[in-house]
Amino acid sequence: MKKIQLLLPLLLLLPLFGMAQNTSIGLRGGLTIFNFTGKDASDDSKSLAGINGGAFFTYSVNRNWGLTGEINYMAKGTKSSNDINTRVAYLEIPIYVSYFFEGDKLRPKLFAGGTYGSLMTAKVEDTDVKDSFESSELGAVFGAGFHYRFTGENWLIIDARYGLGLTDITKNGNQTINNGGFSINVGVSFPLGNY
């Protein structure tokens, strides 16, 4: 079942690979700052810093609109009031729509979409607690950034985004806890086809 949950979003993205004429690919990475949210999350918990990174492709519908799919490693978690770290990591697949503002060298953008995450690890300090967490989560992502053309159709990308967990991440049916937080990212993109 877990393999099906991971493969389904990838299969939905396959048709986009046939649109290589207006497609770019790239790599990205950055810093995450996440916390547990939701009605049952502790009020005195603190955000926890981590890393993220992965690959993406963007299909340009036209000069202003694009559809992006990513596959990323995402570190999330929380720090309790007594400084005990709970770290969770996901293989996350965001799919989002971007609006690009006009520009030749510099193109600001806004984007929004959904995410699917498959749990990779869950630890409280050095203790494995993966069995206490759901194997997957659904979420939403919102962000802004810019593309800077450094040569031809090759772009440096910088963005900041907010990830909002929409499903309970714990297996405890008596409480609701979600992931929520920010990430700051840097990436590069290269064209697959002629624009």
Per-residue pLDDT at 48: 94
Is there a domain that residue 136 lies in? yes
User: Per the structure, how many domains does the chain have?
Assistant: 1
Contact predicate 94/72, CB 8 Å: yes
How far, in Å, CA of 105 to CA of 152, rounded?
10
Is there a domain that residue 18 lies in? no
> For residue 18, which phi and psi values (nearest 5 degrees)?
-75, -10
Domain interval for residue 83:
2-13+23-191
Is there a domain that residue 176 lies in? yes
Return the percentage of the chain with pLDDT > 90, whole number: 74
The first and second tokens of residue 179, run together, are: 């992931």
Is there a domain that residue 121 lies in? yes
CATH number for the domain including 97?
2.40.160.20
Instruction: Encode pLDDT of 110-131 as tens digits.
Output: 999 999 999 999 999 999 999 9
Per-residue pLDDT at 13: 52
61-69: average pLDDT? 94
What is the pTM assigned to this prediction?
0.85
How far, in Å, CA of 69 to CA of 10, rounded?
9
Per-residue pLDDT at 121: 97
Is there a domain that residue 119 lies in? yes
Question: Of the candidates 56, 86, 87, which has an alpha carbon nearest to the alpha carbon of residue 72?
Answer: 56
